[in-house]
Structure 1
Amino acid sequence: MQNVLNALRALEEVAARQPIGVADLARAMELPKSSVQRALVTLHTAGWIRQAAGTPTRWMVTAKALHVGRSATGELNLRDIAVPVMEELRRQTDETVHLAVPEGGRIVLIERLETSQPVRIILPLGQNLPAHASANGKAILAASTTETVENYMAEGLSRFTGTSITDPGCLRAELAEIRARGYATNSGEWRDDVSAVAAAVIGEAGTPVASISINVPTSRMTDASRAAFGAAVREAAQRVGKLLGSTSGG
């Protein structure tokens, strides 16, 4: 029984910290390396984790683990449609591409396709993103109803960095700009080292069901790349929205 519990704990920790090596995992779980190694071998054999590309001593969850979670939350169809478009976007930009969904007033990251570049942005799947301080969140807010936006702002706008938007009037103005250009930007508003562009995926009912983003280290984001990435992510989100509508329509 203890071996099973160790394996399940290891799976949770890998999902939260991926990619992660045995030593770091052992410290996080406060277990001997030998126990953690056995748990990883079990998970790998069962197909729940895989070795990270280019770093065989570090581990990541596989699509098998993601499939179970998404089946429980109804996100599988969205992911199946979005991932091929996201793959094309990653090939086009060679930057990390994220898929996030609104869930109970939160913005939750559900998929990540990584860049091949050595300096990259790694956020754990399941990460909650602040709606007013992330590109994914602002894209979804901009496509939401006025009531949704006002209810969100009524709870207060937390400051995360020196560039976070904490004034409701400033946020309303930015959301209007996002609607006009079709994509949102984030220049270190949640984390200083993270910049991004994102566009909302509009579902059949005309409401935002997800957002797609390109995430870049702030040091690598320029005005020119921001505009190019914005146009690309806007087109990708529109494609996913159309595909969702055609699928729903039978």
Structure 2
Amino acid sequence: MRPVHSALEIVALIGQRQPIGVSAIARDTGLPKTTAHRVLQTLHAAGWIEPDANDGANWSLSIRAALAVGSAQRSTRQLHGAAFPIMEELRNTTGESVYLAVRDADTLALIERLDGRNPLAHAWPLWQRGPLHATSLGKSMLAHLDPAELESCLNATLPRMTRQTKTDRAAIEAELAVTRARGFATSFRENWPNENGVGAAIRNSRGEPTAAISISAPVDRVDEAQCIAWGPLLVAAARRISLGLTRG
């Protein structure tokens, strides 16, 4: 089963980092370069990846692989339907960009972004993964995980995304305690150096924090106090989305 595992790992990595070359793939997966090259050739022959149009030495997912994302889109259709009108309300109220993400193990994936009326600090691509510990989306979910799942997430490698990213275990746990108490999480220049955000967890019918919603904006337009002031708005929005999922 190891070849299958390697192939799936490489496909996932290309999806996150495309376009990406064999050297970076070998380094990030821990595979020998010759093995990574062999797996890439097999995936290419099967139609799952293709040479990047701008740099043939790098690889991107093929249309066939992109279409496979449709299964993920179907699995989040109910969440998207419940969240979208509420996301529009938040955008209209605040004028800022609103994000919707789902958790996958110790990462998150963005599944919807409504750009605000004002310029973005960073346009996060749909389906791109991000860290839990450095984003308001991720921290809002981390705060409500059961102890075993939280332990697993915090034991994973916690990359420092910016100079403000918290990677110390005690500091993260202290912030998660605050998040539980007030119901929303904040991220002040932790995932992007010029961006602040505030987010709240969305719960499924079993009460599990499987998704989250957030507002994000450049620091020169939205300061920390404004994020905190928007916190109850995010909590109410997340609660309404969660209720919609339960009714669905």
TM beyond 0.5: yes
Mapped partners of 2:213, 2:159: distance in 1: 23
Aligned-partner residue type, residue 54 of structure 2: E
Q: 80-89 or 220-229, which moves further after superposition?
A: 220-229
1:195 offset after TM fit, Å? 1.2
**Matched-pair contact (CA < 8 Å) for 2:141–2:209:** yes
Mapped partners of 1:79, 1:98: distance in 2: 11
**Matched-pair contact (CA < 8 Å) for 1:106–1:130:** yes
Give the structure 1 partner of residue 109 of structure 2: 108
Give the structure 2 partner of residue 75 of structure 1: 76
Mapped partners of 2:77, 2:169: distance in 1: 35
Q: Secondary structure at the match of 2:111?
A: strand
Mapped partners of 2:158, 2:139: distance in 1: 12
**Matched-pair contact (CA < 8 Å) for 2:196–2:223:** no
1:22-52 alpha-carbon deviations (Å, 9 max, x no partner): xxxxxx7329xxxxxxxxxxxxxxxxxxxxx
Q: How does 1:97-136 map to 2 (within 5 A)?
A: 97-136=98-137
Flag the 1:239–1:122 CA change in 2: closer, same or farther, 3 A.
same
1:92-147 alpha-carbon deviations (Å, 9 max, x no partner): 11100000001233201000001111344311001211111111110110011111
Mapped partners of 1:165, 1:128: distance in 2: 18
Give the structure 2 partner of residue 204 of structure 1: 205
Give the structure 2 partner of residue 193 of structure 1: 194
Flag the 1:110–1:121 CA change in 2: closer, same or farther, 3 A.
same
Q: Secondary structure at the match of 1:241?
A: helix
Alignment identity in percent?
34
Mapped partners of 2:211, 2:97: distance in 1: 17
Q: Secondary structure at the match of 1:129?
A: strand
Aligned-partner residue type, residue 176 of structure 1: A
Give the structure 2 partner of residue 166 of structure 1: 167
Q: How does 1:231-250 map to 2 (within 5 A)?
A: 231-247=232-248
Q: Secondary structure at the match of 1:197?
A: strand
Structure 1 length normalisation: TM-score?
A: 0.70
1:69 offset after TM fit, Å? 5.2
Give the structure 2 partner of residue 54 of structure 1: none
1:80 offset after TM fit, Å? 0.8
Mapped partners of 1:123, 1:140: distance in 2: 19
1:223 offset after TM fit, Å? 3.5
Give the structure 1 partner of residue 215 of structure 2: 214
What is the aligned counterpart of 2:53 among 16, 25, 29?
29
Aligned-partner residue type, residue 200 of structure 1: A
1:173 offset after TM fit, Å? 0.7
Mapped partners of 2:162, 2:209: distance in 1: 27
Aligned-partner residue type, residue 165 of structure 1: K
Q: Secondary structure at the match of 1:29?
A: coil
Q: Secondary structure at the match of 2:220?
A: helix
Q: Secondary structure at the match of 2:108?
A: strand
| Structure 2: gaps spanning 5 or more residues | 1-14, 20-51, 56-66
Q: 106-115 or 226-235, which moves further after superposition?
A: 226-235
**Matched-pair contact (CA < 8 Å) for 1:96–1:120:** no
1:143-162 alpha-carbon deviations (Å, 9 max, x no partner): 11111111111123221211
Aligned-partner residue type, residue 29 of structure 1: A
1:238 offset after TM fit, Å? 0.6
**Matched-pair contact (CA < 8 Å) for 1:86–1:97:** yes
**Matched-pair contact (CA < 8 Å) for 1:134–1:186:** yes
1:198 offset after TM fit, Å? 0.3
**Matched-pair contact (CA < 8 Å) for 1:106–1:131:** yes
1:71 offset after TM fit, Å? 3.8
